[in-house]
Amino acid sequence: MQEHHKVVIIGAGQGGLGVSYYLKQAGINHLILDRGDIANSWKENRWDSFCLVTPNWTLNFPGKPYQGTDPDGFMKRDDFVQYMTTWAESFNAPVRKFTNVHEVSLRNPGFVIKTDSGDITSDFLVVATATHQHPKIPDIAKKIPKSINQLHADQYKNTSNLNDGGVLVVGSGQTGCQIVEDLIRDKRDTYLCVGRTGRLPRRYRGKDAISWQKEMNLLDRTPDMLSDLSLRFRPDPHCSGRDGGQTLSLHNFNRAGVKLCGRLEDLSRTDLIFGNSLKSDINYSDDFASEFRKNIDAYILKENIEAPLPCDNDFEGEPHVGDPSIESIEKLDYKLAGINTIIWATGFKYDFSWIDAKVTDEMGYPVTEKGYAGVKGLYFNGLNWMTKRKSGILYGFNEDSLEVSNQIKKLVNGNLPDELNSNKNVDEIICM
């Protein structure tokens, strides 16, 4: 007899576990499938020195909000994995570990979930695999000689698993810059290919940047406020939670001896060829930080808030008079530079083609109405900008988890909204 569950959830990260928590409370039978363990991506795809970038107070997990002694601190990787694991165990989340889902197909009614250990059917399905699913590595990697150790950022653990010699980090988003921190501390000869990414001051006028974002309702912005939906996938501004939280800055890297390069465009024999956008991309980072501070200043003035005046520490990471000059490098002989390792901090790509239903937009990204995907019984959770800016971060998953689970509970209890009864396609739901 084929295995059947009322609800199947794919993904045992915060998005999947959040829905599970509320379904457990409602006594609804369900199963969570994950290709690894609980919090697998946090455990397996983060480096050893990784810390959360959002403060501990943002960990508002249902049934387990942060109650420690350091709400403004930043939890280390292993501590956070344990936090999530303990939380899942506290409500006996029904996680089936190390189970790969290959395909989801519709049946009438419900779903067939094809896994490497057999098919499972369900009446409802929640896809909580998030957005960052597969490492994205540019085609130029195929030109790199085998003598150079190449790895994606999700494979990086610490400097001991790198070849001796210099390291080229490609990508200056949050991840790339945090890895550069590691390399600086190990006194590695480091090169960084810079892209167009903002810089977020860690603190300004007495508060952490995330605290200001919350207070100014920036985390509650909705997708319709974006000028372009592609901005949902814009790299996070560089910032760090390490050592109590600090501003990451290209200028600080330059002062520490990191060689900044433009975007890697080609390889000719032993020469790495870079683009000429380095200075404009550095200016973009500076302007991003400046605009953020100006918005806080304006908010403080408008709301008549008592806040300390800006101080020197608030401008950490800005260029200094007398800084070492940043020369744009057009090409670099990797042999002469001693570069023996390349770390691709080039982000991730998503793929939802394994779901045999029309649920994505022209970018291949799921379109939902508060998590509902326009196919009866099919939901998503944990996506970037699913309902709000905070949807894809730890601070926002609880709100979306409650919404998705409430919709499922109504359906299970027979109280179906008209638009769900009709099994309309996703385009009709969007236009309502």
Output the tens digit of pLDDT for each of the chain's 432 residues: 789 999 999 999 999 999 999 999 999 999 999 999 999 999 999 999 999 999 999 999 999 999 999 999 999 999 999 999 999 999 999 999 999 999 999 998 999 999 999 999 999 999 999 888 889 999 999 999 999 999 999 999 999 989 999 999 999 999 999 999 999 999 999 999 999 999 999 999 999 999 999 999 999 999 999 999 888 888 889 999 999 999 999 999 999 999 999 999 999 989 999 999 999 999 999 999 999 999 999 999 999 999 999 999 999 999 988 888 888 888 999 999 999 999 999 999 999 999 999 999 999 999 999 999 999 999 999 999 999 999 999 999 999 999 999 999 999 987 544 443 433 333 332 222
The Cα 61–Cα 395 span in angstroms is: 8
Question: What's the gap between Cα 198 and its chain centre?
Answer: 15
Where does CATH 3.50.50.60 sit in the chain?
3-133+350-431
3-state secondary structure of 139: helix
The DSSP bridge partners found for residue 32 are 9, 95
Could you tell me the two tokens for 171? Answer: 């990508």
Check: CB of residue 58 under 8 Å from CB of residue 392. Answer: no
H or E element that contains 230: none
The Cα 239–Cα 226 span in angstroms is: 22
- List the one residue out of 140, 171, 190, 172 whose CA is nearest residue 344: 171
Tokens 């372009």 — which residue? 228
Rg (CA), the chain: 23
Question: What's the gap between Cα 95 and its chain centre?
Answer: 22
Could you tell me the two tokens for 127? Answer: 């896809």
CA distances from 265 to 275, 277, 352 (A): 6, 11, 29
Q: What is the pTM of this model?
A: 0.92
The Cα 231–Cα 226 span in angstroms is: 7
CA angle 239, 84, 354 (to 5 degrees): 85
Question: What's the gap between Cα 428 and its chain centre?
Answer: 30
3-state secondary structure of 6: strand
Check: CB of residue 31 under 8 Å from CB of residue 96. Answer: yes
Q: What are the backbone angles phi and psi of residue 369, rounded to the nearest 5°?
A: -115, 100
Q: What are the backbone angles phi and psi of residue 96, rounded to the nearest 5°?
A: -100, 110
Q: What are the backbone angles phi and psi of residue 111, rounded to the nearest 5°?
A: -140, 155
3-state secondary structure of 32: strand
Task: Name the amino acid, one letter, at 153.
Answer: A
CATH homologous superfamily of 3-133+350-431 equals: FAD/NAD(P)-binding domain (3.50.50.60)
